[in-house]
Amino acid sequence: MIEKLKEAGLNEYEAKSYLALLKRGAQTGREVSKRSEVPPTRVFDTLKSLKDMGLVNLIQKKPMVWVAAKPDVGLKNFMERKLDRIKMLEKDVIKSAKELKPSPKKEKIHEKFIVVNGYHQLFDMVNHYLKKTEKEFLVYSVGEEIPYMFRIECIRALKKGVTLKVIVSKCDEENRHILKERIKEGWELKHYPGSGEYTFAVFDTKIAEINIRNPEEKEERISMFFENPELAKALREYFGTIWKKAKPIS
C-alpha cells in the first residue's frame, strides 16, 4: 500500500503517516510518529502536508489530534485533483508543442587550409584535387614545364570532360614548344603578361590554390590550398577578368 500511495504522488513519510491514521483512527502527532516510524521532527510537517492534500483533518488543536479522511472521499478527491492537473498539463504541453517552430538548419561550413613548400609537393597536392575535379580546372601559370604525372592527370581530366583553361604569364621562344604540346593535348591556352612571382588555380569553384614562387629558383615556392567555395568563386571571377584581356596562343 505504501508503494501504491507513493505512485499516487505521496512521499514515504506521507504514505506511512496516512496509513497509521487509517489503521488506528484519531491520534496525536506523537502517536502517529511512533506507529508510522516517521521521525518526530518531521511528523508535524508531514501531517500538515496531508491536510493540504485533503487526506487528513485536524479535529483538535490542544493537543493536536489528527484523523484520516475517509478513503472514498479524501483519496478520491486527491486523485481527481491530480487527474485534473495532469489533463491541464497535457493541454498546455500539446499547445506549447504545436506553437514550436523548427529552428532553421544551420548550414555546415567546411573549410580547410593546407600549406606545402616546394615544386614537387605543389604538384602532388594539385594531382590530389584534380582527380576529384568534375567540371572545370582553371590555372594562372608561368607556362613552365610540368611533372609527367601531373601532365597525365590533366589528360585524364580532359578525357572525362573537364574544361582545362590556362593563362600563362610567359610566352616566348623558351617555353613556346611546351605551350604547343599543351594545346595539342586539348588545353585552352591564353597569354597575359605578368611577373611570374605568383600563380593560382581553381578546382570546380570549390578549391582555390595560390602559389608564391621565386622566379629564379624553381624549388623555392610556397603553395596554399583553400577548401573554401567563397574564395574559389572570387578567384574564378578574377580569372575570368584576365581571360577576357588575355590573347589566344595559336
- Asked whether residue 170 falls in the same domain as residue 222, the answer is yes
In this structure, is residue 96 part of a structural domain?
no
What's residue 220's pLDDT? 80
What's residue 32's pLDDT? 92
The DSSP 8-state label assigned to residue 209 in this structure reads E
The sheet carrying 198-203 orders its strands as 112-117, 217-227, 207-214, 198-203, 136-141, 163-168, 188-191, 247-248
CATH of the domain at 11: 1.10.10.10
What pTM was estimated for this model as a whole? 0.56
- Asked whether residue 133 falls in the same domain as residue 244, the answer is yes
In this structure, is residue 53 part of a structural domain?
yes
Identify the three-state secondary structure at position 176.
helix
Tell me the one-letter amino acid at 152.
Answer: I
Assign 3-class secondary structure to 31-81.
HHHHHHCCCHHHHHHHHHHHHHHCCEEEEEECCEEEEECCCCCHHHHHHHH
Rounded-to-integer distance, Cα 162 and Cα 136, Å = 5
What's residue 17's pLDDT? 93
- Asked whether residue 150 falls in the same domain as residue 75, the answer is no
What's residue 110's pLDDT? 64
CATH of the domain at 130: 3.30.870.10
Number of domain units in the chain: 2
Residues ≥6 apart with Cβ < 8 Å to 26:
59, 65, 66, 67
Q: Which domain holds residue 41?
A: 2-87
Low-confidence ranges of the chain (pLDDT < 70): 106-110, 218
In this structure, is residue 106 part of a structural domain?
no
Rounded-to-integer distance, Cα 28 and Cα 65, Å = 4
In this structure, is residue 92 part of a structural domain?
no
- Asked whether residue 121 falls in the same domain as residue 241, the answer is yes
What's residue 241's pLDDT? 93
- Asked whether residue 49 falls in the same domain as residue 147, the answer is no
- Asked whether residue 129 falls in the same domain as residue 221, the answer is yes
